Every structure is written in C-alpha cells, then in structure tokens.
Amino acid sequence: MLKEYATLVPHLRKYRLRYMAGLLCLVVVDASQVLIPRYIRTAVDTIAGGRFTLDAVLKPLGMMLLLALLISLGRFLWRYFINRASRSIEAEMRAQLFAHIMQMSGRFFRDTTTGDLMARATNDIGTIRQATGMGFVSLVDGVFMSSMILAAMFLNNPAVAGWVILPLPLITALILLFGKIVGKLFKRVQDIYGRLSALAQESIAGVRVVKSFVKETHFLGRFSEINLEYQDAIMDLVKTFGFFFPFISFLAGLSTVLLILFGGAASIRNRMSPGAIIAMLSYLEMLIWPLMGAGFTVNIIQRGAASLKRINEILHTEPEIVVRPDARVGIPRGDIEVRNLSYVYPGAGQAALRGLEFRVPEGSILGILGRVGSGKSTLLKLFPRMLEPGEGHIFIGGIDVCEYRLDALRRAFGVVPQESFLFSDTIRANICFGAELSDEQFGHVTGLAGLDRDVQLFPQGWDTMVGEKGITLSGGQKQRIALARALAINPGILLLDDALSAVDADTEARILQRLLAEREGKTTIIVSHRISTLRHADHILVLEDGIITQQGTHEALMLQTEGFYAQIAALQQLEQESCAACGEGEAAHV
C-alpha cells in the first residue's frame, strides 16, 4: 500500500517547509489541549477543598482561556500551511497526469476510455489531495495526541490508567482490519465510477447517433445498471463505516465505565482526588478523537493508495513513441522516401502495411487510392509518427524521421484527417489554432479552403461558435475548416486523408485548383476515393491489403485496364454519365 506513495515524494519534498510549519502548529495545538485538563483538575480540587479565594479559581480559568486562544490560532495556521500544500500537490499532480497523457500515442487511447481518464483526473486526484492534507493531519494528530494523552493519564494515576486503557489493543486490531477492508472496497468504487463516467461521456458525445437509432432506453438501462452497481459499492463502504465508528465509540465508552469503577474506588481510598477523576475523564473524551481519527486515517490512506495506484498506472505507462536525447530540432525538408515499410497494429493478426517502397520528390503531389481497410490512413499516420514506423523506413531529405524531435517533425506536416475535429470555439479560433494570422493571411487560407462563400451563412461570421465537435456545421464545412487550419501553419508537407469526401465535386475541383496554383514547392499527399481528385497527382499509388499493387501517373494507370485504378475510374465515369442522363431526362420531362 505505502509503496504507491513513492510518487508523492518529490511533491512532499518541495513543500516540506509548509508541512513542517503546519506540523509545528499541530503539535502546539495538541500540547495545549492536553494541558487544559490539568487546569481543570486544579480548579475542581480547589473548589472541592471548600476553602478557596476567587483568585485561586480565576488563575486556572485564565490559563485555560489563553490555551483556548492559542489552540484557535494554531488550528487556523496548520490548516493554512497543510491544506495549502495539499492543494498545490493536487494541482501539480493533475498537471503531471495531463502532461503525461498528452505524450501518449494512439494505442494508449485505444485501450483507455475518456471517461475513465476523467475519473482519474478528478475523483482520484481529489482523494490524493485528502491523503496529503487531512490524512497527514489525522496521522500526526493521532500519534502525538494519543502519546501525550496516555502520558498525562499515567502521570495522573498509573494504576487507574492501566485499567482504563485495556480496550485500546482491541481498538488497534480493529483499525488494522478496517484499513484492509476499506482499501479493497474503495478501489472497487473508483473502478465502477470510471466505467460510469466512460458510459456517460460516450452517450453524451454520441447523443445524435443514440437519438437517430431510438436507443435512449437502451443507454438509460445500461447507465442505470452501472449506477446501481456504483450505489451498491458505495453502500458496502457506508455499512463498513456504519459498523466501525459506533463500535469504536462503544469500546471508548467501556473505558469510561472502567474509569468510574476503578477511579471511584481510588477516590474512596483517598488515592485519587475528584479533580484527578475529572481530568482523567477529560483525557478519555479527548482520546476518542485520536481513536476515531485512527480509523479515519487508515481510511484516507487506503483510499489515497487506491487512487494513487490508478494514477500510477497511467504515469508508469511509457509512451510508445520514444524520442532520442540527441534528436534533431530542425524542421525536416526534402524528398520523402519510404523503404521496406511494414506496420502491424498491436494485437492484430495481420499486417496493415507490408513492404512499401516509394519516393515522393519535394514539391510534388502523391495520390493514394485503395479500398476501405487497405492501409491508406495508417500510412499517413506513420509520416509524422502518430504511429511508430521504426527506424530505417521513412526518410525526409535523406534523414530518418526517428532522428527528429516529435515537435520538430510534426511542424513539417499539415494534417487533415478523415474525421475533422473542431473545438468548442469560434470558426476563426479553430482556423487560427496552429498559427496567428493577419486579416490578409486569414482571408487567403479561407479562400484556398473554399470557405469564402460560406461566411455569409454563419450567423456571426467568422466569430460564430461551432459548438462541441462542430455540431452546428455541415460535414463539408467542418472538412474545409480543418483544411484551412492545416493551411494556416504553412506546412512543408500537406497530408489530406480523404479530406474532401463530404464536399461536392464542383467545390472539390475549385479547392484543388486553388491548392495546385499555390503549391510553391510544397509536398502534398492526397488520399481519396475520387479519380477526379487523384488525376492531378504527379504519382499515384494503389494499395490493396497493405501492399502497393499499382503505381504511376493517372494516364499510365488508365492504360492498365485490368487494374483496380482503371476499374474505379470506369465505374465513377459511368456514375457521372448516369447522373447527367437523369438530369437531362428530368429537364425534358418538365
């Protein structure tokens, strides 16, 4: 359990002065609390003697008042120092977790749900904050308070104190058992909460699909099932607490019975004064908190360990893509060369790509055609190392891409993926995501992406909010905003992964015409299912089952009439002619 806390050592070392200051204030508070019963004893014995002056009573009362003021000040200060340190650790750990997640590659996000990551970054980090805050306080407070109270009790009357503390070993054994049970129960609670968060996030993100298939009842049922499971897990934890704390109070009450029994007998024999009995009773009442606090401490430490284990599972997961310490920092330029490139997804039985070899001269256009699942998107992800190609397979300007720092390598690319992701911000902010643009530059990239005609359709122009994931826009508009975002960084290599599939053929032709006119030595790699798009490429690859089955110019591939490229071209040409004929027929009928 405690080994999980090794992750916190650097943070605890950083804030050691705050913890030391808080610890000092905490000890002062505990010592002051232990002193108060001594003055109660003096006051009671003075009054019980029958002959006393007002000054004799006021003196211990005045000391008790001063101690109460010191306790109040000390409690404020230890809360300030320790809680401030724990909040700082919480913020740093959340930032550390987020930074580590940002370094992870695609495989990690395939294996870990967003909802579970959110649960770890919120619930688990919050629990760790409690362990480094109130957990630390209750641990130190319990040790110091218990020690000082027991010492004061034995100094008061060793014989009676020996009888009074008889239930304490049983309480200690119960606390240890309680800690083991709570640790297992709390980990189960956090795991179920992660599943619940994942389902909620997935359902809300895909609410349009859920509604279109009328599956609201299905998802409500799944949510209710996990929610009830979470409730049951929480109730198991509540039942454990519900049994433990009252039972501890009962055992503490036995100590009071023992005090009355043996303390009363000692008082009858004049071996214990009335004030000493009252002081001993005060000590017992004070001892209840450390005893209860011990269970509280074990609970927080166990919960913190369970949460730290979940956080450490993420932090100890190494990024799949490793960067060399002496990696190049310059942005790569030059011809792209692929040598004997293969790639197998983890856990897949078949390679997505097998033995690819080709060359893309700088400033040229490479087109890629292939069926769904032929490896086109996988190939594009390997260039900027979104997936790890391995050394000796992809070169830019004769230098292996694995020799570059990831940030330097990826600055060379402007990527427009199949699924265009937009942030919940304005259209302008989404386009300027990667670079600050002047009004002239902004107008230029939006014109290249064919958005200049759409601006009148947006309620607030370029300052229109697009909603979460661009929910307020059409598929074609989202694709063109994503294209403008990629063009805004002025990349040396542009990767278009079926980036205009949701755009009509005329708009696509107009966009491509503008892009070709603005090439200026930039390398472009286009994945598309439309021959009308690929015909502009200088060289075309045809992928089937992860291998290159055809390559050449559009004209050369069209001459290979039995090839996949020519067959697709013929089918698309036939489709266009059929549509044109339908249009003419409808016009004649009208």
Domain-embedded: residue 256: yes
Amino acid at 567: Q
Structure tokens at 115: 């909802």
pLDDT at 18: 93
Domain-embedded: residue 188: yes
Q: List b or e across 110-127, with b for residues whose CB sees 16 or more CB atoms inside 10 angstroms.
A: eebbebbbebbbebbbeb
Same domain, 310 and 340: no
pLDDT at 342: 93
* CA–CA separation, 40 and 521 (whole Å): 91
Structure tokens at 533: 């798009």
Same domain, 341 and 302: no
Domain-embedded: residue 321: no
pTM over 0.95: no
151: domain CATH number is 1.20.1560.10
In the three-class reduction of DSSP (H, G, I as helix; E, B as strand; rest coil), residue 132 is classed as helix
Same domain, 349 and 423: yes
Same domain, 201 and 349: no
Same domain, 386 and 244: no
Amino acid at 125: I
Q: Domain end: 285, 315, 345, which one?
A: 315
Same domain, 281 and 362: no
Q: Domain end: 249, 282, 315, which one?
A: 315
Domain-embedded: residue 427: yes
pLDDT at 246: 78
H/E run at residue 144: helix 136-156
Per-residue pLDDT tens listing for the chain (590 residues): 567 788 888 888 999 999 999 999 988 988 888 888 888 888 887 777 666 677 777 888 888 899 999 999 999 999 999 999 999 999 999 999 998 888 887 778 877 877 788 888 888 888 888 888 888 888 887 778 878 888 887 887 787 777 877 777 777 777 767 767 776 787 788 788 878 887 887 787 777 677 777 778 888 888 899 999 989 988 988 888 788 777 777 777 777 787 777 777 777 777 777 778 788 778 777 777 776 666 667 778 877 888 888 888 888 888 888 787 888 888 999 999 999 999 998 777 788 999 999 999 998 999 999 998 899 999 999 999 988 888 889 999 999 999 999 889 989 998 888 888 888 888 888 888 888 888 888 888 888 888 877 777 888 888 888 876 667 788 888 888 888 888 888 889 999 988 887 777 778 878 888 887 777 778 999 998 888 888 888 999 999 999 999 999 999 999 988 889 999 988 888 877 675 555 544 444 44
pLDDT at 587: 41
Considering its fold, how many domains does the chain have in total? 2
Dihedral sign of CA atoms 320, 107, 411, 424 in order: negative
459: domain CATH number is 3.40.50.300
Judge whether 484 and 448 are in contact, CB under 8 Å: yes
pLDDT at 579: 59
Domain-embedded: residue 238: yes
Domain-embedded: residue 152: yes
Same domain, 290 and 389: no
Structural domain of 453 = 336-561
Same domain, 379 and 475: yes
Same domain, 236 and 346: no
pLDDT at 586: 46
C-alpha radius of gyration, the chain, whole number: 36
> Which residues make Cβ contacts (< 8 Å) with residue 492, sequence separation at least 6?
331, 332, 333, 412, 413, 522, 523
How many residues in total does the chain contain? 590
Domain-embedded: residue 320: no
Same domain, 242 and 360: no
Domain-embedded: residue 27: no
Structure tokens at 17: 């002065």
Same domain, 305 and 374: no
Same domain, 221 and 256: yes
